[in-house]
């Protein structure tokens, strides 16, 4: 279990008491003047002879071109290995110095590292830390107060892959809708994600099950074995800044409501010891962080709404806060949304996305160790694997990258992208053990339109277009796509670096309405869900490819569900 102990100056305690929160660093405020640096030291996992810890250092003084953090243990703890810092130990004294890639530490900036250690007896958290010889206070990581490390032998040890050896929760509400469709009983027993897409969803809204009801049902389904529950954490302020179909309830500046009315209540439920035997997988804020990379600034795909969210930092803050708080629950496994290959796969987007994700995972008291992995293709349609062409193929003197479909992307399918992006994330500073999830709920592209071999080699375009499984007009099309089918069934450990194929988006739930529909859910009308729409720069001004007569996002779309079954690949029996 991730725990933190806090040591604060009396003045800081008075500030905390006045605000009603434990402590939050504001580099430009009075706290920064009084506190030259803060250290968040968390014991992530602990067992009878060893532990893993995560440390985040925030510098509130002048910018540094190198740094060294020191502390001493009161017991016999020994650092045995580490990452993202050069760690050395002499007796009880430990020194963590920067690596070459994280030497710069700006004013108000943070850096995170982790390590594994051994101990016997007690494992007390160090009382004092110094950054370059200056004593730091220890940041509590926000509301919640100081706590002690977990007791040895408790449920603190997360498994490497939560899906291994476990059943996955079947949402009875989705299952009933699927079973009511002709032929739907063939897949009604498949596990899907539970979407917490507004505050009211936590307790249940419109007669639907709330979070506790789902977790209680999960305990019933679990029996004596292991069971994974999949939750979608999806309610950032200014949500979906580049789209309108699934705009959220929180305004761009309502980060405090996100923290106190959304994340904190979710954490309180998940931390209930009643549910400690469940493996709880969270998919954290789909589409948010990639929008800051591709849809801001001078890019032709930029939107004013995304520029606002980049400027106010509330996507970064919100994701960091969610990772920190939910990561404190020992049986929660956080997976951050990472877009898909048709969004992040270009050179301009690939490495910058990993860097931005690292920034978010180091915000609001979070560390990279609060991230168990990443998920790609959530609620999207990118083919899992294109067998009929590869990125290295050349046709008629041109590379496949030059085709209109690939359009200079470095990846042609989701599996190759997810595996490569995992390596990029590790290079950016995430632990080497992170795993990837791929949402295969709607990327099968089977049926009569599925090619059986490569296209004609007349031109690079005839070759790619004739052989590609993904039959969308453009890979930027995302709303209720015509011709789509169910993909690979959920399964654990299907490929190297992939923790699971999942159906995080429940098949049959709409991406957005085909026309404007007044509603109390804060959901707007996006022309990309209108089958008559001729497109925008994000889909190279192509037709939207959307199905007609779609309901609001998240609502049941019977025609889409039937199409998905008809075009399933592998086919339904």
Looking at the annotation, which residues are catalytic?
A: 287, 511
The tokens describing 560, both together, are: 């889409």
283, β-bridge pairs: 232, 335
DSSP 3-state assignment of 476? coil
d(CA 13, CA 400): 61
Q: What is the DSSP string of 237-284?
A: TT-STT-STT--SS-TT-HHHIIIIIIHHHHHHHT-GGGTTSEEEEEE
Residue 304 CB coordination number (10 Å): 8
Element (H, E) at 414: helix 414-427
Distance CA 420, CA 439 (A): 16
Cα dihedral 436, 440, 446, 452, rounded to 10, equals 0
Instruction: Report the C-alpha gap between 147 and 161 in whole angstroms.
Output: 27
SS3 324: helix
Classified as helix, coil or strand, 217 is helix
The answer to whether residues 191 and 170 touch, using CB atoms and an 8 Å cutoff, is yes
Structure tokens at 37: 């640096």
Q: Is the peptide bond before 570 cis (omega within 30 degrees of 0)?
A: yes
- What residues have CB less than 8 Å from 186, skipping those under 6 apart? 565, 572, 573
């Amino acid at each position: 279990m991730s725990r933190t102990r806090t040591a604060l100056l009396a003045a800081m305690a008075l500030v905390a008491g006045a605000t009603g929160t434990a402590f939050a660093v504001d580099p430009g405020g009075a706290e920064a003047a009084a506190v030259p640096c803060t250290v968040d030291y968390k014991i992530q996992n602990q067992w009878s002879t060893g532990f893993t810890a995560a440390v985040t250092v925030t510098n509130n003084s002048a910018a540094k071109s190198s740094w060294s953090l020191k502390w001493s243990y009161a017991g016999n703890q020994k650092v045995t290995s580490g990452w993202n810092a050069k760690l050395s130990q002499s007796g009880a004294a430990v020194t963590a110095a920067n690596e070459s890639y994280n030497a710069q530490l700006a004013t108000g900036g943070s850096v995170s590292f982790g390590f594994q250690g051994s101990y016997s007896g007690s494992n007390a958290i160090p009382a004092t830390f110094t950054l370059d010889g200056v004593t730091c206070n220890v940041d509590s990581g926000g509301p919640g107060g100081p706590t002690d490390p977990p007791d040895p032998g408790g449920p603190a040890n997360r498994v490497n892959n939560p899906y291994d050896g476990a059943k996955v929760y079947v949402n009875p509400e989705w299952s009933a809708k699927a079973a009511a469709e002709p032929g739907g009983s063939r897949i009604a027993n498949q596990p899907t994600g539970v979407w917490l897409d507004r505050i009211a969803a936590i307790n249940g809204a419109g007669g639907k099950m709330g979070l506790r009801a789902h977790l209680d049902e999960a305990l019933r389904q679990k029996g004596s074995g292991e069971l994974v529950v999949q939750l979608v954490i999806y309610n950032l302020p200014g949500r979906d800044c580049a789209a309108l179909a699934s705009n959220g309830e929180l305004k761009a500046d309502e980060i405090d409501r996100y923290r106190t009315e959304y994340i904190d209540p979710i954490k309180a439920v998940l931390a209930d010891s009643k549910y400690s035997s469940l493996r709880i997988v969270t998919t954290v804020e789909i589409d948010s962080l990639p929008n800051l990379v591709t849809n801001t600034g001078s890019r032709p795909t930029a939107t004013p709404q995304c520029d606002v969210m980049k400027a106010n930092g509330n996507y970064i803050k919100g994701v960091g806060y969610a990772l920190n708080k939910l990561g404190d629950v020992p049986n929660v496994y956080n997976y951050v949304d990472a877009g898909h290959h048709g969004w992040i796969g270009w050179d301009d987007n690939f490495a910058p996305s990993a860097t931005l994700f690292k920034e978010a995972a180091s915000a609001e008291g979070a560390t990279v160790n609060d991230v168990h992995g990443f998920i790609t293709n959530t609620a999207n349609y990118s083919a899992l694997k294109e067998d009929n062409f590869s990125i290295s193929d050349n046709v008629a003197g041109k590379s496949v990258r030059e085709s209109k479909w690939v359009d200079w992307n470095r990846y042609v399918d989701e599996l190759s992208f997810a595996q490569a992006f995992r390596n990029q994330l590790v290079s950016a500073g995430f632990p080497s053990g992170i795993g990837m999830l791929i949402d295969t709920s709607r990327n099968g592209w089977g049926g009569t339109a599925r090619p059986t071999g490569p296209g004609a080699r007349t031109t690079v375009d005839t070759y790619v277009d004739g052989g590609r499984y993904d039959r969308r007009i453009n890979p930027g099309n995302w709303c209720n796509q015509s011709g789509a089918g169910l993909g690979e069934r959920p399964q654990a450990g299907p490929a190297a670096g992939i923790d699971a194929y999942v159906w995080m988006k429940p098949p049959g739930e709409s991406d957005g309405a085909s026309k404007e529909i007044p509603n109390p859910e804060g959901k707007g009308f996006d022309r990309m869900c209108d089958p008559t729409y001729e497109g925008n720069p994000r889909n190279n001004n192509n037709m939207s490819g959307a199905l007609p007569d779609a309901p609001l996002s998240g609502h049941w779309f019977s025609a889409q569900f039937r199409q998905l079954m008809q075009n399933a690949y592998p086919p339904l029996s």
